Structure 1
Amino acid sequence: MAPMPDNSIDDRLKDVIQNLFEIQSAVHGYLGPETQQQLVRKIHQLTASLSTLSTSSSTLPTSLPPEIIDYIDQGRNPDIYTRELVEAVQRSNQYLKGKSEAFAGFRDILAEEMIKGIPGCKGDVERILAGNGVVVGEAARQNGDV
């Protein structure tokens, strides 16, 4: 059986909600035996809608990371897990950003010192820096060295 598109599942959910609303309205306006037949018919429609939804939704991906399952098994809130994960990713990103900036600073200082120490390699250093999108001397000005 081919997976149904997500909008089909949305339509099935809307059908279930509509059936529940109609049952609620029928129960609220119950007038006796004539309403009973209508109520029975609507309950059968609800059952059919739920069955269709169940069949349609079985194709949806439902895999969860084992860490979340363990977290829930321990009686903890999965929203807290998500918040902690986001905070850990932010810390890691900040660390990697700092590391990247430090290496960029080292690259710029090394390039400047290589040009000062070995003037003949200036062209090669400039070519390497240009490959990284850096202009010789610009990095030193940004760092306040010049």
Structure 2
Amino acid sequence: MTTASIPSSDNLSVTVEKLQGLIENFIELGVLVHDNQGTNQSHTALIHKTNQLIGQLGELETDKSTEQYPIPIDVVSYIEDGRNPDIYTREFVESTAKSNARLKGRMKGFEKLRDVLGVKLAQEFPRLAPEIEEIKKRTSST
């Protein structure tokens, strides 16, 4: 990865500010929709806020610093369902930790199998002992 592809903290802080402004405007739009009186003034306010949000989304989409951080569709679904995306992150980390533990157990099992199989092969075919030891060295995780 080149240093040009690593975003600076300035780019990230600008993106964070854009996202915060976008969230605030979505909240304001929700209030405008909820409190809509059906008047021309409230209709104009809704149109203005909607156009403002569309503009902000367009800016965010064309921003080069956000291309490196695609948002998983699951996170978008969480937000659409009114759920906290931090819950998605926590669940993702937990499932990844479980998967990693399961894979680590499998790796340990295969290492034991390799060792037992190597001992048995070396007993039956003593001339293969050096090659078996070489295989153990190459496939050892330590």
TM-score range, shorter chain: 0.5 to 0.7
Equivalence for 1:76: 83
The separation in 2 between residues aligned to 1:95 and 1:121, in whole angstroms, is 33
**Percent identical residues:** 30
- 1:99 pairs with 2:102: no
State TM-score, norm by structure 1: 0.51
Q: 1:103 to 1:71 in 2, by over 3 A?
A: same
Cα deviations across residues 54-91 of structure 1 (Å, max 9, x unaligned)?
Answer: 89x94430641111001111111111111000000000
Equivalence for 2:119: 112
The separation in 1 between residues aligned to 2:138 and 2:84, in whole angstroms, is 48
Supply the RMSD in Å over aligned alpha carbons. Answer: 3.0
Q: 1:116 to 1:71 in 2, by over 3 A?
A: same
Residue identity matched to 1:74: D
The separation in 2 between residues aligned to 1:121 and 1:92, in whole angstroms, is 36
Cα drift, residue 129 of structure 1: 1.6
State TM-score, norm by structure 2: 0.52
The separation in 2 between residues aligned to 1:116 and 1:91, in whole angstroms, is 38
Q: 1:105 to 1:8 in 2, by over 3 A?
A: closer
The separation in 2 between residues aligned to 1:129 and 1:121, in whole angstroms, is 12
- 1:125 pairs with 2:132: yes
The separation in 1 between residues aligned to 2:85 and 2:12, in whole angstroms, is 25
Following TM superposition, the consecutive aligned residue runs of length 4 or more in structure 1 with deviations greater than 4 angstroms are: 8-11
- 1:60 pairs with 2:26: no
Gaps of 5+ in 2: 1-6, 18-58
Q: What SS does structure 1 have at the residue aligned with 2:92?
A: helix
Contact 2:12 2:65 in 1 (8 A): no
The separation in 2 between residues aligned to 1:58 and 1:119, in whole angstroms, is 65
Corresponding pairs, count = 89
Residue identity matched to 2:95: A
Equivalence for 2:10: 7
Q: 1:8 to 1:132 in 2, by over 3 A?
A: closer
The separation in 2 between residues aligned to 1:110 and 1:81, in whole angstroms, is 43
Larger Rg: 1
Q: 1:88 to 1:133 in 2, by over 3 A?
A: closer
